[in-house]
A and B are shown apart, each in its own frame.
Chain A
């Protein structure tokens, strides 16, 4: 290297790119290393079949923090979000369909067909969850505080959060604190009676954690998924034009514009430590690159046990990492379609298919799917989220054709019987068959199929145990408890090494926050 490097960022997912772009913008010399040939990690749009571009990881970018997008000026680098009125559409077994719109009043009218009481209850429910999600959103964007010795700036942020919590008013504040550790099922049962509505609303509550909607803490995830732009009491959802990968591309362009070097096809073999301090990395080909700080957007277990190595870690930290619950539980099935599938429940209105098409018809259905998964089986009746992004963005598929991606939830990384080498195709059939119950012509439209199992997410995308959240978002692994309690603030027992991926505060989802906050932390401590 002709010039010395300030920061090495490991991994070119959206968090790694966010960290690299922000650090480069502050004048640091940044080198980002990505093992795969393309950037984006689990925020990628890949041309899997010629002309067909799929969001192979996250299906949208609705949680991306607007403050970071603004600070990096991502719109200058081609980031544009497509307007979409639909939040979610649930085709049901009885032929009916339930659509949730961004406009909550419009949703209430749909809900009235299922329950007049629920329709009345929906608007106040929506308003309250918006208020709660807003507080949570503020918390997520705060620099984590330390147990000891906090800067005034960090404390002031948490002080302001306390004020906004107080600003909810006495009743709401107590309700907020009551709801956070609740189960989504319990919370929804308090408000609604229609199973179709509860099943649909519960779907986002188990994203990123291997739990059914009856598990404690799932109400939290329901709110977490709404931290971004308001979406009618459903998870925040925004699709960048050109696919989710455009977000990563814009981040990459911003990073390069500020002088960061981004190297793909460059796997890191280990993080070099000298006397308890990270001093650089060794690449897969043996080359050593030194830097003042190392930020790793790989998950904490891979970062510390894999790249740093057990013998460099303190015994207690190593034990914590080994007991980290990763537990990936999502597979995806990507279909190239000759035409748009017909969902009779949508009654010919293709607009309804522009959001998430969710198969989660009741709380019991979702819980039973989880029951299968917890015993190491793929759910017999899986919970699905399908997206047809080409409806919103025709450029993703050849003219008149479509891309359809299905996220298959409750797909355990660890199978009790068989392995993912052989079970993948069967999972693909199950997903397509389940969706085809609601779209009879679906199978006849499929021209190609690509399956990504939890094992593929581990092997190809580097997500240990296929955990897209770098550690499941259960009550014991939330926010400041990430990556492990006692090592708050992206720091580690290795000086100069920071976790800047979803394993850090606030957690998974395309927020960009772990990358941004870790970068700021590292910048302050850089020598």
Chain B
């Protein structure tokens, strides 16, 4: 049974739908309001606030902390400056992805890592023999994600002295809130301008209140997981156990993926110091399958549905039920996350397809169900993200 997060007193009061989901053992709001679209549009047009506390978080300190994370991650951590963040997958010794997350460098020998799955044991194994103080801070550290084009303005009003205008994408600031350390990272899972705020769990409700109160003047809404899932698909951000299977949980080898196969080849730094899976990854650099974006043809949807006298039926929410993808009738992969993007007015999907069909522009067919009958609609391969506004990475003027 899931337990309350450090922000439960606040989220529960706002969760009018009583729609709770289990996120890593915590109660997490699916939607707060009767329609999740309000939350979705809040993030795309104003700001949303997500309780991201259920993320797994690890602190690594000590002379070998940098060596440990560099041995863990496929990206070159030696290039990560103090105050910088990076996103990276990590692999098992066979080069198959275990998990992905963000790493922040808080000091010379001080890092913080987030993970979707419990990772302490793996970190301990990777770090055996290294001089690192490794701590699981998942419960003591709360996380709030403030996302959307107005997020900077909200934050700036609460922290007028912080140089938020110059805080670049995937960098962090360390400050204080009520006398305790607060880390502000310019990161998120929505593909928009946004920040994540990390602070001791007992102070989190207070910061939530400040954000909600200030945010009320900027169109801020609490953000639930239903809207978040739509946002991250538009942003082309993959989700573990949905778009790929952790190698630790795969039942058969075919379920495992290398970073090259889930669109994270860019995050494998060749020539960096030895990391777990490095040798294996050199051998399978040519992926047999690849993660792509699909834009499903609306005219074809209309054509298929019109056969039974209906307009196209697409759920207003994202779907995590994988559906087969075909090329000229041959099965070549599956779409794993699907959503009708309200802002793009397009039916989009993240899919894994055989490499031969992964070229942008390739036309494939996605399975759809028309009145209980299986059918297909054409879809075009694109390179994610689907939605990539300039403010995501941009630095504000003045």
**A residues adjacent to B (C-beta < 8 A):** 275-276, 305, 309-316, 318-319, 322, 493
Contact = CB atoms under 8 A, between A and B. Distances in A.
Given A305-B128, A311-B129, 7 more contacts: A276-B279, A305-B129, A311-B67, A313-B128, A314-B276, A316-B93, A319-B128
8 contacts: A276-B274, A276-B279, A309-B129, A311-B71, A315-B93, A315-B122, A316-B92, A316-B93
User: What 9 pairs across the A-B complex have the smallest Cβ distances?
Assistant: A310-B129, A315-B125, A310-B128, A314-B93, A318-B128, A315-B126, A319-B125, A311-B129, A276-B279
A316 B125 contact: yes
Contacts of B71: 311
Contacts of B274: 275-276, 312
A493 B128 contact: no
B314 interface: no
A322 B129 CA distance: 11
A316 B279 CA distance: 16
Interface in B113-140: 122, 125-126, 128-130
Contacts of B279: 275-276
Interface string B206-230: 0000000000000000000000000
Given A311-B67, A315-B276, A493 B93 contact: yes
Nearest to B71: A311
B125 A318 contact: yes
A314 to B, nearest CB: 4
| Interface of chain A, main secondary structure | helix
A315 B94 CA distance: 11
Contacts of B276: 314-315
A314 B276 CA distance: 7
B128 A322 contact: yes
Contacts of B126: 315
A320 B129 CA distance: 14
Interface string B68-104: 0001000000000000000000001100000000000
B320 to A, nearest CB: 30
B182 to A, nearest CB: 33
A446 B126 CA distance: 53
Given A275-B279, A276-B279, A318-B125, A311 B93 contact: no
B289 to A, nearest CB: 24
A311 B70 CA distance: 11
Nearest to B123: A315
Contacts of B129: 305, 309-311, 318
Nearest to B126: A315
A310 B125 CA distance: 9
A314 B128 CA distance: 10
Contacts, number: 36
Contacts of A316: 92-93, 125
A315 B130 CA distance: 12
A316 B126 CA distance: 9
Interface of B: 67, 71, 92-93, 122, 125-126, 128-130, 274, 276, 279
Contacts of A310: 128-130
A493 B92 CA distance: 13
A311 to B, nearest CB: 5
Contacts of B92: 315-316
A304 to B, nearest CB: 10
A276 B93 CA distance: 12
A311 B122 contact: no
A319 B128 CA distance: 9
Contacts of B128: 305, 310-311, 313, 315, 318-319, 322
Nearest to A305: B129
B67 to A, nearest CB: 7
Nearest to A309: B129
A486 B279 CA distance: 19
A184 B210 CA distance: 71
Q: Considering residues B67, B130, B279, which has the most beta carbons from chain A within 10 angstroms of its beta carbon? A: B279
A99 B128 CA distance: 51
A319 B121 CA distance: 10
Among A312, A314, A319, A493, chain B packs the most CB atoms within 10 A around the CB of A314
Contacts of B122: 315
A493 B94 CA distance: 12
Contacts of A275: 274, 279
Residue from B93, B126, B128, B274 having most chain A Cβ neighbours under 10 A: B128
A316 B93 CA distance: 8
Nearest to B129: A310
A293 to B, nearest CB: 19
A512 to B, nearest CB: 32
A422 to B, nearest CB: 31
Nearest to A322: B128
A8 to B, nearest CB: 22
A319 B274 CA distance: 19
Between B92, B129, B276, the greatest number of chain A beta carbons within 10 A of the residue's beta carbon is seen for B129
B177 to A, nearest CB: 36
Contacts of B125: 315-316, 318-319
A312 B278 CA distance: 12
Contacts of B93: 314-316, 493
Nearest to B93: A314
A315 to B, nearest CB: 3
A313 to B, nearest CB: 8
A276 to B, nearest CB: 6
Contacts of A312: 274
A318 B124 CA distance: 10
A38 to B, nearest CB: 31
Nearest to A314: B93
A275 B92 CA distance: 17
Contacts of A315: 92-93, 122, 125-126, 128, 276
B132 to A, nearest CB: 11
Contacts of A318: 125, 128-129
A318 B125 CA distance: 7
Contacts of A313: 128
A200 B174 CA distance: 71
A233 to B, nearest CB: 45
A147 to B, nearest CB: 14
Contacts of A493: 93
A305 B92 CA distance: 19
B256 to A, nearest CB: 15
Contacts of A305: 128-129
A312 to B, nearest CB: 8
A202 B71 CA distance: 49
A318 B122 CA distance: 11
B94 to A, nearest CB: 9
B118 to A, nearest CB: 15
A409 to B, nearest CB: 32
Nearest to A308: B129
A305 B128 CA distance: 9
A74 B191 CA distance: 75
A468 to B, nearest CB: 26
A275 B93 CA distance: 14
Contacts of A276: 274, 279
A147 B285 CA distance: 26
Contacts of A311: 67, 71, 128-130
Nearest to A306: B129
